[in-house]
Structure 1
Amino acid sequence: MSTVALCAAAEARRRGRPVWLVNASDAESLRGGVLEILHQIDAPEAVARAVREGTATAPDRVWEVLSGRRGLLVLDNADDPGVPAAGDASAPADGTGWIRPGGGLMVLVTTRHTDASTWGAWVRMRALGTLDDASAAAVLRRAASQVDDPGGEALALARRLGGPPLALHLAGAYLAAPFARWRSFAGPCRPVGGRSSRRRASSDVAHRCHHGARDRRTRSPQRGHGDVR
């Protein structure tokens, strides 16, 4: 689950709103997420059956149940607009698929597809950029507050990562974990295979932090952990 989705969900819960998080990266994941929502709200079995069978009216049946509810529905990682679209449609702009206007339910979609016409005129688009180096370093220090930073290594790591919030969150959360391979911000800064670009460096460090955490958890299963997907 993306950082944006998790933060939005946390804020909605803080306000006492119900939250439903759905992975919309592919049709099977979206269908499974919708079925879980229907189970949680005790929706009629006929509605769940329509979703399981993938009928053309499944989105209509689901929205008949959800439209009167208040809360937050997050469709995360919807990089393929055809997934939340209706039937054979390639985009959800007509409002007949899994993303619809009106009602008391707020729908948040996270996607890399930024063509507003794909999503519909009733959708408000918000582009998210990267953080500047100083702000990115502050995120690292806050996420790994117990790690000392006497030599400005957090700033160096922030520059290497390039400022994407998810990579910063992964790196900081990893350094704060008891199973971390590195105990300083300088550890993940070491070059990998001579690569120098910020984008590739960001991918390298996030990959090393994620898989380092996974490997340590495999060796020490008794320790608690948390993942950000």
Structure 2
Amino acid sequence: MGENLLPREKLLIYGEESLEDKELLAIILRRGIKEKNVFELSEEILDKYGDFVKLQKLDLNDLVKIKGIGEVAAINLKAALEMGKRYHLQKLKVTYKKIKSPQDAYEISQDMIYYEKEFVRVYLLDSKLNVIHSENISEGTANSSIAHPRDIFKIAIKLNAVSIILVHNHPSGDSSPSIQDIELTDKIKEAGKILGIKLNDHIIIGNNQYYSFNLSRKVEKDA
């Protein structure tokens, strides 16, 4: 049912949630090129870049270099992706005031999937797991982050935090921990024991996935 409908017709009848990613992209691109129609072009672009998060990270010049995307289509695509990103982040602002689980930490840190470099963020919690403060404490490269326990606990002590949650992103999209991530977690955990400030978890943010050191496993999320 609806298999032969064009994306615009499908949206009108069944709603926007019924559309596949390639159909949404086809609506924005509007037309294809001589060698392929707009659906084939959309599918080829998504096959190459993976998903909208990766497309969003391309600048206008990169988009224009893709065969079949002219300047107007590139501008429309950048605007649509930015609008989706802003909606996503604005929705998050009114959601979580407590972090009671790794899932909460992942959800509240969704803005980090858009970062092109690794950042380390600390959430400071009170005795009831309310977030009393959050801050990006270090900026790394596309492949690594540098954080020192001193920087993390300096602010935790100042604001009388009972516990902390550490979160950092992997721009590659793979949330698997590196040796450096494991070593950092061990250092923070040991320093916290001495200072009386517990490390509740260390979360690594990937693309539709996260790794929780508290769970000791990766959690895949639906796109």
**So what's the TM-score if we normalise by structure 1?**
0.29
Please state which structure has a larger fraction of its residues in strand.
Answer: 2
Larger relative contact order (CA 8 Å, sep ≥ 6): 1
TM-score normalised according to structure 2 size: 0.29
